Structure 1
Amino acid sequence: MPPPSAPASHHLRLWWRRRGRAGAVGATFAVALLLALSSYASVVFPASGGRRGPALVGLTLVRRASEKGSLMFPATPHSLVLKFQFQILNSRSFVLRTLCLDGSAPGYHLQRGSGSVSQSWLIHLGGGGWCRNLKSCASRQRSMLGSSRYMEGQVEFTGILSDDKSQNPNFYNWNKVKIRYCDGASFSGNVKDELQNGTRFFFRGQRIWEAVMNELVVKGLRNAKQAFLTGCSAGGLATYIHCDSFRALLPKDSRCFFPREVVKHVVNPVFVLNRAYDAWQVQHALAPEASDPQHSWLDCRLDISKCSSEQLEILQGFRKELHDAISEVKQERDWGFYINSCFVHCQSLNSLTWHSPTSPRVNNKSIAEAVGDWFFDRREVKEIDCEYPCNPTCHNLVFARPFKI
Structure 2
Amino acid sequence: MATELLRPLVLRHRRGLSVIAAAAPLLVLLAAVDFPCSPVAVRSTELVELTLLAGAREKGAVCLDGSPPGYHLQRGFGSGAHNWLVYLQGGGWCNTTESCSKRKMTELGSSKFMEAVNFTRILSNRHHENPDFYDWNIVVMRYCDGASFAGDAEGQDLDGTKLFFRGLRIWEAVIDELMGKGLATAKKEVSIKCLSDAGFFIDVKDLSGERSMRLLCSGVVHLQNVREALPKNCLTKKDPTDCFFAAEVTKSISTPTFILNPDYDSWQMDHTLESHGQVAKQTSETAVPIKLKCCMVSLTYWKKLISELKVAEEKKDWGLFIDSCFTHCQTPFRISWNSQISPRLGNKTIAEAVGDWYFGRKEEVKQIDCEYPCNPTCSSSLPTA
Deviation of 1:287 after TM superposition, in Å, equals 1.6
- The superposition leaves residues 349-401 of structure 1 with CA deviations (integer Å, 9 ceiling, x where unpaired) of 1122101122111110000100111100111101011221121211336899x
3-state SS in 2 of match to 1:268: coil
Matched, 1:218 2:180: yes
Q: 1:399 to 1:223 in 2, by over 3 A?
A: closer
Deviation of 1:36 after TM superposition, in Å, equals 7.5
Q: 1:159 to 1:29 in 2, by over 3 A?
A: closer
Deviation of 1:116 after TM superposition, in Å, equals 1.4
Q: Counterpart of 1:253?
A: 240
Contact 2:327 2:382 in 1 (8 A): no
Rounded Cα–Cα distance in structure 1 between residues aligned with 2:258 and 2:8: 21
Rounded Cα–Cα distance in structure 2 between residues aligned with 1:330 and 1:142: 40
Give unmatched runs, 5+ long, in structure 2: 11-20, 26-41, 203-227
The count of aligned residue pairs is: 318
2:302 to 314, 319, 324: 319
3-state SS in 1 of match to 2:71: strand
Deviation of 1:316 after TM superposition, in Å, equals 3.0
Matched, 1:393 2:374: no
Rounded Cα–Cα distance in structure 2 between residues aligned with 1:175 and 1:398: 28
Q: 1:232 to 1:179 in 2, by over 3 A?
A: farther
Q: Counterpart of 2:317?
A: 334
Rounded Cα–Cα distance in structure 1 between residues aligned with 2:381 and 2:252: 34
Rounded Cα–Cα distance in structure 1 between residues aligned with 2:79 and 2:297: 49
Contact 1:36 1:234 in 2 (8 A): yes
Question: Aligned AA for 1:108?
Answer: Y
Question: Aligned AA for 2:86?
Answer: I
- The superposition leaves residues 212-260 of structure 1 with CA deviations (integer Å, 9 ceiling, x where unpaired) of 10011000111224445445457999xxxxxxx9647364834111110
Q: 1:221 to 1:274 in 2, by over 3 A?
A: same
- How high is the TM-score relative to the length of structure 2? 0.73
- The superposition leaves residues 110-165 of structure 1 with CA deviations (integer Å, 9 ceiling, x where unpaired) of 1111111211101111111111111111111110000000011x111122111111
Q: Counterpart of 1:125?
A: 88
Q: 1:235 to 1:218 in 2, by over 3 A?
A: farther
Q: Counterpart of 1:181?
A: 143
Alignment of 1:4-403 (within 5 A): 37-38=23-24, 54-67=45-58, 96-152=59-115, 154-191=116-153, 193=154, 195-196=156-157, 198-225=160-187, 226=190, 227-232=192-197, 247=230, 249=232, 251=235, 253-289=240-276, 292=279, 294-295=281-282, 311-379=294-362, 380-396=364-380
Give unmatched runs, 5+ long, in structure 1: 1-26, 40-50, 68-95, 238-244, 301-306, 401-405
Q: Counterpart of 1:240?
A: none
Q: Which has the higher contact order (CA 8 A, sep 6+)?
A: 1
Q: Counterpart of 1:86?
A: none
Rounded Cα–Cα distance in structure 2 between residues aligned with 1:32 and 1:282: 19
3-state SS in 1 of match to 2:164: coil
Question: Aligned AA for 2:264?
Answer: Y
Contact 2:23 2:93 in 1 (8 A): no
Deviation of 1:315 after TM superposition, in Å, equals 2.2
Question: Aligned AA for 1:258?
Answer: F
Contact 2:198 2:265 in 1 (8 A): no
Rounded Cα–Cα distance in structure 2 between residues aligned with 1:390 and 1:166: 29
Q: Counterpart of 2:219?
A: none
Rounded Cα–Cα distance in structure 1 between residues aligned with 2:339 and 2:371: 23
Question: Aligned AA for 1:169?
Answer: P
Of all paired residues, the percent bearing the same amino acid is: 44
